Amino acid sequence: MNKLVLAMIALSVLTALIFIFYLKNEGSAPAFVETGRQSSEERQNDGRRGALVDQVVFTQQGDIGQVVSLIESGSHHIFTQGITSTTVFQRLRDSKNADYDISYGSSVELTLNPTGPHFANGELNPFHVPAIREALNQLINRRYIAEEIYGGLAVPRFLPLSTAFPDYAHLADVARALELRYQHDPEAARQIIDREMQSLGARFEQGRWWYQDRPVRLRLLIRTEDARKNIGDYIGALLENLGFEISYLYRTAAEASRIWLAGDPHAGHWHLYTGGWVASRIERDLTDNFSYYYTSKGRADPLWQAYRPSAEFDEIADRLQRRDYRTWPERRALMSRALQLALEDSVRVWLVDQINAWPRAHNVRLAVDLAGGVSASALWPYTLRFDDRVGGNMVIGSPGLLTEPWNPVAGSNWIFDQKIIRALQDPPLLPDPFTGLYWPQQIQSADVTVQYGVPLIISHDWLTIHRAETINVPGNAWIDWNSHDKRFITVAEKHPDGLEARGRIRIRYKDDYWQRRWHDGSTLSLADLLLPWILSFERADPNSPLYDIAHVPNFESFQRHFRGWRIVSKQPLIIDIYSDQIHPDAEVTVADKSPSVLPWHSLALGILAEQNERLAFSSHKADRLQVDWLSLVSGPSLPILQQLLESARLEGFIPFASLLKHYLSSGEAEERYQALKDWYAERGHFWVGNGPFYLHSVHPLEGSIVLRRNEDFPDPADKWLRFVQPEIPELVMDGPILVNVGQPATFDLQVTFQGKPYPLNAIDEVIFLLFDGDGKLSFKGKAEPSENGIWRVNLTARQISRLGAGANSLELAVKSNRIALPSFASHGFATLPADESIPEGIEP
């Protein structure tokens, strides 16, 4: 392995962070409102409830080149697409009226269609073969993509782990080894692809691959709104050079979605897609990624149902998704093996992690997630505001609106749709935009009890954790559902000999929880909590008219760790959830186990529509029934739902009435349906939420959506304004560049923030990796604190001797407890033979 190549890989993340640090010191504003301004804002917002602006208008704007001029003209205030174009970024940085925030959680990958080996039309699909998919990792030059296509606003990525999240730092030695194994080597990739194509019966003649007297054509589906267009062109050129015929299919998000996401992959309309993902928050635990991205349990969409991982990979992915491990070393071993199997499978070929700049007007502020930026921030609706006033209208540009149908069961998962939906909901807990840990929003407290030995840590004081030798699930807890009798099955019925769980999560909601209202004026009730639970079980039952085969893999995965739940108290609402799936962070475990709450009366219309085979919750079932994918906000679903609403209102329809009627107040069904009827008459849609904004109007043809402030929202407007600038460590390495073999060496890492030493107690640990001349990990250890802001690596004479003579690389990963993103630094140095003197003028 060439040392220079290794050093370049090692420096990739550091280079990106230094680049951002340089930009910030060239006159850019802080990512969040200054700390000193918060007190004046709190005084200014005194007495206001809910949102800090009165109206938000989303408009469709896909031309990223116009972003800065639209902000400067005053027509737009924010954009929901991160900037990765260096040209646009320079204009944004130099603008007097525009500003930006930075995030690190976006990624780009190549999604492959694995069906085959033949499509329905008889064409050969080379990517049915795992070895060909795997070879693409070596064919593609990720550094070219990061540096040339993204101009340095990206870093190479090989693995289903974000390079900016904690798990990457935890597994840095494993990750580096795999990155070196799969480094850019086009000749090795060509040899593998040639061998596998011949095994498929293809032949190479006159510079082209042929199969059954036809050239092998690959359909490359390319997104056009961002740098993925250039990536698609680059990938296409690589494959053409290998002898494939390429069809370049340029599509927008909405156009592409109907092909790769909603379409039947066996139909053969595409082979590769330039995919992109945005983390909706900082993911402290990435064990879900293997199941989500590589198995049929990940999503209900047709493509996911075509995934066929190896038995070993499927089992490990399932275990990791269920957190089926007893110790931290066991978790590490499972993750390490899963990373290797993910590369061997490669239904996704990861390309880069992006560094996004999120444009906004200079006088606009909002909480921006360090991972998801503006588009995935959970706190944006609670913190969006103008600097100089309370209230007002905000205009937000988005590259896509209504990309897929909206429904809360299996509707659109597109980031641009979900951003808007987040403003319409008020979840039990909200994620910290800097750490990824959760804070209570609708709950008062939580208590997590786990068995001894289960890996679990706690960071906040709003919850407590306890340890127990055994955790017995109460016999009256609900664990399953009887679709025929329409009732829950208790633990005592299903497990008469008793049942144990690894953990119990007790959640206590706020005392005024049942006083809160849906946007149509309906008061929350227990039926809103119960119906989503019922529906999840019902959709997995083949005997139910609501059965959806695409829901089954995910449900089966849930059942493998679910051990029951029960309502401990109705007022205040206290619920217990028993599970074998315990996340490493107690706060994340509580958030993950908190049940969904949805307005049962609007959900009932979707149930009626699917039972009567007029609409379907998921795209998969809609295709099977040849009906429309259910949308509560637009399109042909609306007149159907209106008819069903009228019949439900006249009938007093209650879904699963034998159970739910016991949890409804007198006259609740009549009141709910009348409220929904009035809501639809006024708003023209059926989306009812409980968030700080409500959905005022939807205009699909005009490409706009209007949200208005929910004046009945009970929380103070300044509740979440405490989130200000994230304290991202800034790193400077110092140490010798030449060291004699057999001599010790000392390296210092200076860790600061805004020019001041980073407090030692704010850093969890500093890990170092020492790579030798062959690019192999020679030693791994922890740096020691020397003085405030300084961490030291002392390498012994023996450790230096093991390196041999040549160029080496020392990498450091810093983990702060104030933010979850690890920071990286690297220092290259050369080792000289023991008898060779260091040249004059070079410090040892």
What's the number of CA atoms in the CB half-sphere (13 Å) around residue 718? 14
pTM flag (> 0.75)? yes
pLDDT of residue 44: 56
Backbone φ, ψ for residue 552 (5° rounding): -65, -50
CA-based nearest residue to 222, from 241, 197, 202, 239 = 239
- What value does the mean pLDDT of the chain take? 90
The mean pLDDT value for 142-160 works out to 94
Length of the chain: 844
Which pLDDT tens digit goes with each residue over 118-127?
A: 999 999 999 9
Instruction: Give the pLDDT of residue 840.
Output: 54
Alpha helices, DSSP H only, in 579-636? 586-593, 600-611, 619-625
C-beta separation of 770 from 828 below 8 A: no
Encoded tokens for 177: 């080894």
Q: Residue 272: its pLDDT value, please?
A: 98
Q: Rounded to whole angstroms, how far apart are CA atoms 222 and 481?
A: 44
What six digits make up the tokens of 402?
A: 């209504």
Quote the CA–CA distance of 334 and 287 in Å, as a whole number: 9
pLDDT, position 45: 60
Q: What sign for the dihedral angle of Cα 385, 388, 389, 390?
A: positive
**In the chain, where the domains are located:** 3-23+727-832, 105-287+345-353, 426-690
Give SS3 for 52.
coil
Q: Round to whole Å and give the CA distance between 315 and 295.
A: 10
Which residues have a Cβ under 8 Å from the Cβ of 59 and sit 6 or more positions away? 76, 395, 396, 397, 398, 401, 703, 704
Are 766 and 823 a contacting pair, CB within 8 Å? Answer: no
What tokens were used for 799? 């450790």
Q: List the one residue out of 595, 575, 599, 458 whose CA is nearest residue 527.
A: 599
pLDDT digits (tens, 9 = 90+) for 420-450: 999 999 999 999 999 999 999 999 999 999 9
Q: Is 188 exposed, middle or buried (0-12, 13-18, 19+ CB in 10 A)?
A: middle
Q: Return the bridge partners of 348, or none.
A: 111
Check whether the bond before 542 is cis (ω within 30° of 0).
no
Q: What is the pLDDT of residues 162-189, one digit of tens each?
A: 988 889 988 988 998 899 899 999 999 9
> Residue 842: what pLDDT?
53
Instruction: Give the span between the Cα atoms of 700 and 685, in whole angstroms.
Output: 12
pLDDT at 431: 94
Residue written as tokens 């992959």?
265
In the chain, count H helices and then E strands: 27, 37
CATH topology of domain 105-287+345-353: Dipeptide-binding Protein; domain 3 (3.10.105)
* Structure confidence by residue, pLDDT tens digits, 660-677: 999 999 999 999 999 999
Structure tokens belonging to residue 195: 């061998």
**Residue 431's closest CA among 298, 295, 618, 590?**
590
Beta bridge partners of 457: 585
Query: Do residues 202 and 244 touch, judged by C-beta distance below 8 A?
Result: no
Instruction: With a cut of 80, say whether residue 221 has pLDDT above it.
Output: yes
Residue range 762-810, pLDDT digits in tens: 998 999 999 887 778 888 999 999 888 899 999 999 999 989 888 999 9
Rounded to an integer, the average pLDDT of 687-697 is 98
Q: DSSP letters of 278-333? A: E-SS--S--THHHHHHHSTTS-SSHHHHT----HHHHHHHHHHHTT--SSHHHHHH
Q: How far apart are CA 129 and CA 446, in angstroms?
A: 48
In the predicted structure, residue 363 carries a pLDDT above the cut 90? yes
Calculate the CA 474 to chain-centre distance.
Answer: 35
Domain 3-23+727-832 classified CATH 2.60.40.1220?
A: yes
What is the spatial distance between Cα 476 and Cα 494, in angstroms, rounded to a whole number? 11
Token readout for 60 is: 């469709």
Convert the pLDDT of each residue in 247-256 to its tens digit. 999 998 889 9
The span from the CA of 586 to the CA of 57, in Å, is 37
Reported as a single tens digit per residue, the pLDDT across 503-537 is 999 999 999 999 999 999 999 999 999 999 999 99
Count Cα neighbours of 781 within 13 Å in the Cβ-side half-sphere.
13
Rounded Cα distance between 351 and 109, Å, is: 5
Q: What is the pLDDT of residues 557-613, one digit of tens each?
A: 899 999 999 999 999 999 999 999 999 999 999 999 999 999 999 999 999 999 999
State the helix-helix crossing angle for 3-24 and 172-181, rounded to 10 degrees: 120
pLDDT exceeds cutoff 90 at 300? no
Judged against a pLDDT cut of 80, whether residue 2 lies above it is answered with no
The string of DSSP codes covering 150-169 is STTSEEE--SSS-TTSHHHH
Q: Look at residue 82 and tell me whether its pLDDT is greater than 80.
A: yes
Q: Which two tokens stand for residue 418?
A: 């979900």
Helix (H, G, I), strand (E, B) or coil at 78: strand
pLDDT at 22 over 60: no
pLDDT of residue 369: 92
Tokens representing residue 817 in the block = 């407890």
797: left (phi over 0), alpha (psi -120 to 50) or beta: alpha
Whether the CB-CB separation of 491 and 504 falls below 8 Å is answered with no
For residue 12, pLDDT over 80 is answered with no
Tell me whether the omega of the peptide bond preceding residue 117 falls within 30 degrees of 0, making it cis: yes
Q: At 531, which helix (H) or strand (E)?
A: helix 526-538
Q: What pLDDT shows up at residue 844?
A: 55
- The 10s digit of each residue's pLDDT in 331-356 is 999 999 999 999 999 999 999 999 98
The percentage of the chain sitting over the pLDDT mark of 90, rounded to a whole number, equals 77
Selected residue with higher pLDDT from 843 and 757: 757
**Mean pLDDT, residues 469-482:** 97
